[in-house]
Structure 1
Amino acid sequence: MAKIETTAFDSADYLNTAEAIAAYLDAYLEDSTPQELRSALSTVARSHGVSDLAHRSGVTRAGIYKALGEDGNPSFETIRSILAAMGLRLAVEPAERVLEAA
């Protein structure tokens, strides 16, 4: 039987534009647990480089790792600061159209 060669895959390696990052996070926001969303934010942080992100966001490097780590519980302000440092923002939109009663 022939050996199968595999290579490591890291989503962070492919998140190199604001559009790609927004689509990636939007998919997680659509249907995921808070833990899965935190993991996705961690992946995005790694794609930007945590040290650089810490400098631009005003959140310490250790603070980013703690907030987005397995046991993290990031505040809204921490998430907002991290997203802003990546050139992103949160937006609210209707989940579905609601027809007005006639």
Structure 2
Amino acid sequence: MTRKKTTPFDFSGRDELLKDPKNAAVYLEECLIDGDMHLFQEALGNVAKAQGGMTALADETNLTRQALYRSLSKDGNPQMDTITKVLHAMGMRISIVPETAA
């Protein structure tokens, strides 16, 4: 069996895309579909960095930069309060909707 040659995905334009609130919302929503909270946390950190950085987010949320970096890392364990503060600072909120049958 021959191996197919692959190349790494180019994320160089990601920050530009995530500056747009609509793109950021779709990105975060997609990261939640599988229920992997660690992926969502990391994605939330990516959006935060793209939309002004952790220092600006820390000022908006009254959380420390260190707490934000820790909470929004793949290995973080943020409380719901932290997630809602971060989303609010980004002009977003959590919405609960019924699952649709496939």
Q: TM-score, normalised by structure 1?
A: 0.79
- Aligned partner of 1:46 among 49, 61, 68: 49
Is 1:90 aligned to residue 76 of structure 2? Answer: no
Deviation at 1:12, TM superposition (A): 2.5
Partners of 1:31 and 1:71 in 2: how far apart? 17
Partner of 1:26: 29
AA in 1 matched with 2:16: D
Q: TM-score, normalised by structure 2?
A: 0.79
- Aligned partner of 1:77 among 78, 81, 99: 81
Deviation at 1:21, TM superposition (A): 0.9
CA RMSD of aligned residues (A): 1.7
Partner of 1:100: none
Which consecutive segments of 4 or more residues in structure 1 shift more than 4 A? Answer: none
What residue ranges of structure 2 are gaps of 5+ in the alignment?
Answer: 1-9
- Aligned partner of 2:59 among 55, 61, 78: 55
